[in-house]
């Protein structure tokens, strides 16, 4: 039995060394594309409403009431301007500013924002692609770990069965088949356990075995109780004179 314990411990040690490698940490997921789409929709809606109001102001420059009303609508979608930008605009109104240069600068800023937005969307798609690849790789590694665990367990049972077979053979040779043959049978059973577990009928076999064992246990208990009752009745019967 000492040989069997040594073999089992060696196999278990081999299993532990092969399955203790830590899995890589999954990085934080990128910003949800849905959230970005909602943000973009909100920005586009605000920009379109402001542009529409400003266009109406330009078309109705001779109607002060329309200019004032549409300007209020446009300003409601925008944050309050800084003092420096407000000063530059007032200089243009006073005739000290270059409207063409200001319009050109505005077009340049809009182009930069559009370019940055396009790049951000491309980076988002790439980040999502890389994250999906990492998720898939982690699943592959987890499946590989499970496979290694399964193979190690199969090897453990195989080694245990082989150890019992060797001990059974030696016991049969030196101590007789009465002791050795049960060890040989146990070794064969241990060696077949991986195949039994991998069988598609394992659940049915296990359930049937449990039912049979439960039935045998109940039968043994009922027989034990019946024998006990018969023994008590026999003890209580008065002796014949």
**pLDDT at res. 1:** 41
Judged by DSSP in three states, 169 sits in helix
**pLDDT at res. 150:** 79
The string of pLDDT tens digits covering residues 94-110 is 876 677 888 888 889 88
Instruction: Answer whether residue 79 is part of any domain.
Output: no
Instruction: Answer whether residue 237 is part of any domain.
Output: yes
Alpha-carbon span 118 to 87, nearest angstrom: 32
Instruction: Answer whether residue 34 is part of any domain.
Output: no
> What is the value of pTM for the model shown?
0.43
Instruction: Answer whether residue 72 is part of any domain.
Output: no
Percentage with pLDDT > 90 across the chain: 1
Query: What's the number of domains the chain is made of?
Result: 1
Instruction: Answer whether residue 140 is part of any domain.
Output: no
The burial of 27, by beta-carbon neighbours within 10 Å (0-12 exposed, 13-18 middle, 19 or more buried), is given as exposed
pLDDT beneath 50: ranges in the chain? 1-21, 23, 26, 28-29
Alpha-carbon span 215 to 209, nearest angstrom: 10
- φ, ψ of residue 78 to 5 degrees: the values are -120, 150
And the tokens for 84?
């420096």
And the tokens for 198?
């991998």
The string of pLDDT tens digits covering residues 123-174 is 888 888 888 888 888 888 888 888 888 788 778 878 887 888 888 888 888 8
Which range of residues forms the domain containing residue 235?
202-241
């Amino acid at each position: 039995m000492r040989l069997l314990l040594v073999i089992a411990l060696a196999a278990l040690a081999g299993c532990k060394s092969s399955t203790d490698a830590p899995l890589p940490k999954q990085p934080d997921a990128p910003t949800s594309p849905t959230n970005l789409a909602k943000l973009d929709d909100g920005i586009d809606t605000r920009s379109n409403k402001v542009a529409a109001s400003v266009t109406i102001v330009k078309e109705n420059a001779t109607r002060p009431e329309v200019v004032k009303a549409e300007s209020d609508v446009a300003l409601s979608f925008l944050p309050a301007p800084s003092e420096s930008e407000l000063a530059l605009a007032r200089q243009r109104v006073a005739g000290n500013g270059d409207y063409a240069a200001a319009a050109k600068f505005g077009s340049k800023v809009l182009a930069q924002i559009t370019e940055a937005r396009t790049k951000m969307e491309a980076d988002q798609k790439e980040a999502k692609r890389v994250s999906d690849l990492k998720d898939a790789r982690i699943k592959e590694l987890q499946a590989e770990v499970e496979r290694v665990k399964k193979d190690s367990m199969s090897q453990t049972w195989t080694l245990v069965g082989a150890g019992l077979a060797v001990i059974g053979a030696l016991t049969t040779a030196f101590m007789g088949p009465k002791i050795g043959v049960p060890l040989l049978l146990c070794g064969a059973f241990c060696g077949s356990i991986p195949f039994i577990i991998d069988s598609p009928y394992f659940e049915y076999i296990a359930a049937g075995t449990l039912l049979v064992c439960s039935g045998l246990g109940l039968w043994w208990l009922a027989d034990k109780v019946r024998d006990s009752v018969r023994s008590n009745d026999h003890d209580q019967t008065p002796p014949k004179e």
